[in-house]
Chains A and B, each alone.
Chain A
């Protein structure tokens, strides 16, 4: 089993739709969780950290479920500019162990 697993997609959704991605992780000792966004041929950029209580930033909502060992990202009112690959990142053991998921590709269609 991979340490961090994501559905690669692609998720093709119309503008204005709501879309959700999940990411499962295998290490129960994982401490920090993040969602990054990566545009084609660019470096990943932090979208948001994921807190135990869940957190929201505008149209984006992140949730953590430690019992089931997954995190989720919900995007409301999708924009064309949201088209990108969304990477789930799990950190354990301090800064020394950072694991990326393979990413979920989102394509928002006009």
Chain B
């Protein structure tokens, strides 16, 4: 099946620094990718929809200036958490939908811990 990768798989950073997370579709092109955040014992919450070649669409309550999304190619979307704070510590997961079907493939997730 289709594969989506994320890098890094985990990251620990100091408060105030920026962290970039990459999401790649490895064997298919994805014009649209999604970024989710999951806090412990909670469901996945959609943060934004990343569209190749255009601006991302952010969900209500998600600060676009804090969570910068770039979808520069059909196989790569990046999420940059700027000026990270401890409350940004979470599990960030990206996903993409293969054009061949209806299935949404998820990356393995990135666990961010902000000290």
A binding-site residues for B, Cβ under 8 Å:
32, 34, 41-46, 49, 87, 89, 95-96, 98-103
Contact = CB atoms under 8 A, between A and B. Distances in A.
Contacts of B107: 43
Helix, strand, loop or mixed for chain B's interface? strand
Contacts of A101: 43
21 contacts: A41-B91, A41-B109, A42-B108, A43-B106, A43-B108, A43-B109, A44-B44, A44-B106, A46-B103, A46-B104, A87-B43, A89-B104, A96-B49, A98-B46, A98-B104, A100-B36, A100-B44, A100-B45, A100-B46, A102-B42, A103-B43
Given A42-B109, A103-B43, A98 B34 contact: yes
Interface string B91-115: 1010001000011101111010000
B90 to A, nearest CB: 12
Given A49-B102, A87-B44, A102-B43, A95 B97 contact: yes
A48 to B, nearest CB: 10
